[in-house]
Amino acid sequence: MNPRRVVVTGLGALTPIGNTLPAYWEGLLSGTSGAAPITYFDASLFKTQFACELKGFDPLAHFDRKEARKIDRFAQYAIVATDEAIADSQLDLASIDKDRVGVIWGAGIGGLETFQNEVLNYAQGNGSPRFNPFFIPKMIADIAPGLISIKYGFAGPNFATVSACASSANALIDALNYIRLGYADVMVSGGSEACVTIAGMGGFNAMHALSTRNEDPQTASRPFDKDRDGFVLGEGAGSLILEEYEHAVARGATIYAELIGGGLSADAHHMTAPHPEGLGAIKVMHNCLKDSGIQPEEVDAINMHGTSTPLGDIAESKAIKEVFGEHLYSMNINSTKSMTGHLLGAAGAIEAIASIMAIKHQVVPPTINHQTADENIDPKINFTFGKPQKREINVALSNTFGFGGHNACVAFKKIL
């Protein structure tokens, strides 16, 4: 069997450092931090009082008031990012076979704010069981791909992937394989999350996962730095239009890059902590290379999971040394979470987009906020600290790892 080739023909981004694809890319290249004090609710009593919120996002610029009330923020973000991706792809929606277009979307949690608010309303209502009739459809993670398909009439494969912070990378791999195997010609895929909420901040604080650098939020996300103290919670969405290569060429589509493969693995180790030797990360990168049909020496850049947690950064750094050996020292490594924060289920999508744009423009965005070297991390690794670096990039990987030990890695290649 010869699997069909899959390319990226459209991108959309809604992030803490830019509400469109061009703004997001400019934010990455300029080393902008999206972290700031929380504005969505009073966080003064929380251990962490800052996050990477969206800036200037107005749902009423995209939905009428009645519609906006029916859709949780995570699904609003999914629709807005997908609107941009579809427009960017220049798909002819009037002539395309919509039975051959599907949507596979990732979300780690889904409508957390909706769930939180309905429970609060119940508790404050003296036990009266009055719930919003849209409570369940607003909350479920699979409502995002459902709403996208309803808006555009896409009748192909449609579902959600939920694998914590690996969710949208999982979605991309599933979408890749549906096109490879001939079940679809075009897939909308990506992820969204909206967990900057009372419940989200409280829950992650309770497990000591978040940075508490309240005095200086903009430098709080500091992957690979000795003084890192946890990740910074982010929100937003990334959407990609994946298309069978010949289908894209036939319609004269602009191709960003080829999605050449993906790998999956499990740590099988701990609910929240990575394997200390990075065994799951090693396996997932090996699996991705094998699926992509490439050797380690062909990889030029990796957007690391790089969350800025004490254990995770060390384990992932060990893993890339094991997989790439001496070739590692000729590669560029970075973590865009230093700027966007951690978008949980949307992380894989927006970081895949960063890798695709790095290939398109032949430049690696920086890892910001590094101040002190960690003696547990090899100092010879080029983490692209401080500023972007121009270089030849033919192949780029993007890693995403989630609570529960879920690992996903995707590989993109320049179309020559």
Q: What is the CATH number of the domain that holds 349?
A: 3.40.47.10
Closest alpha carbon to 70 in 165, 135, 5: 135
Distance CA 176, CA 249 (A): 17
Q: Answer yes or no: 342 catalytic.
A: yes
Q: Looking at the structure, tell me whether residues 300 and 244 fall in a common domain.
A: no
Chain centre distance of CA 65: 28
Q: Looking at the structure, tell me whether residues 216 and 271 fall in a common domain.
A: no
Overall pTM > 0.85: yes
* 386 conformational bin, left if phi > 0, alpha if psi -120 to 50, beta if neither: left
Q: Looking at the structure, tell me whether residues 215 and 311 fall in a common domain.
A: no
User: Pick the catalytic residue: 195, 247, 275, 342?
Assistant: 342
Number of domains in the chain: 2
Residues of the chain with pLDDT under 50: none
Distance CA 361, CA 396 (A): 13
Q: Looking at the structure, tell me whether residues 178 and 289 fall in a common domain.
A: no
User: Pick the catalytic residue: 247, 305, 370, 406?
Assistant: 305
In DSSP notation, 260-313 reads EEEEEEE--S-SSSPPTT-HHHHHHHHHHHHHHT--GGG--EEE------HHHH
Chain centre distance of CA 290: 23
Q: Looking at the structure, tell me whether residues 227 and 163 fall in a common domain.
A: yes
Examine the fold and report which residue of 191, 218, 250 is the final residue of a domain before the chain moves on.
Answer: 250
User: Pick the catalytic residue: 165, 195, 288, 409?
Assistant: 165
Q: Looking at the structure, tell me whether residues 229 and 323 fall in a common domain.
A: no
pLDDT of residue 123: 87
Q: Looking at the structure, tell me whether residues 42 and 143 fall in a common domain.
A: yes
How much of the chain, in percent, has pLDDT values that exceed 70? 99
Q: Looking at the structure, tell me whether residues 243 and 277 fall in a common domain.
A: no
pLDDT of residue 130: 86
Which residues lie below 8 Å from residue 334, measured CB to CB, with a gap of 6+?
301, 302, 303, 304, 306, 364, 365, 366, 367, 383, 384
Q: Looking at the structure, tell me whether residues 197 and 90 fall in a common domain.
A: yes
**Which residues span the domain enclosing 223?**
6-250
Q: Looking at the structure, tell me whether residues 281 and 221 fall in a common domain.
A: no
Q: Looking at the structure, tell me whether residues 94 and 242 fall in a common domain.
A: yes
Examine the fold and report which residue of 207, 224, 250 is the final residue of a domain before the chain moves on.
Answer: 250
Examine the fold and report which residue of 225, 250, 275 is the final residue of a domain before the chain moves on.
Answer: 250
Q: Is residue 256 part of a domain?
A: no
Q: Is residue 255 part of a domain?
A: no
Q: Is residue 257 part of a domain?
A: no
Q: Answer yes or no: 406 catalytic.
A: no
Q: Is residue 94 part of a domain?
A: yes
Q: Looking at the structure, tell me whether residues 224 and 266 fall in a common domain.
A: no
Q: Answer yes or no: 165 catalytic.
A: yes
Tens digit of each residue's pLDDT (9 = 90 or more) over 292-350: 999 999 999 999 999 999 999 999 999 999 999 999 999 999 999 999 999 999 999 99
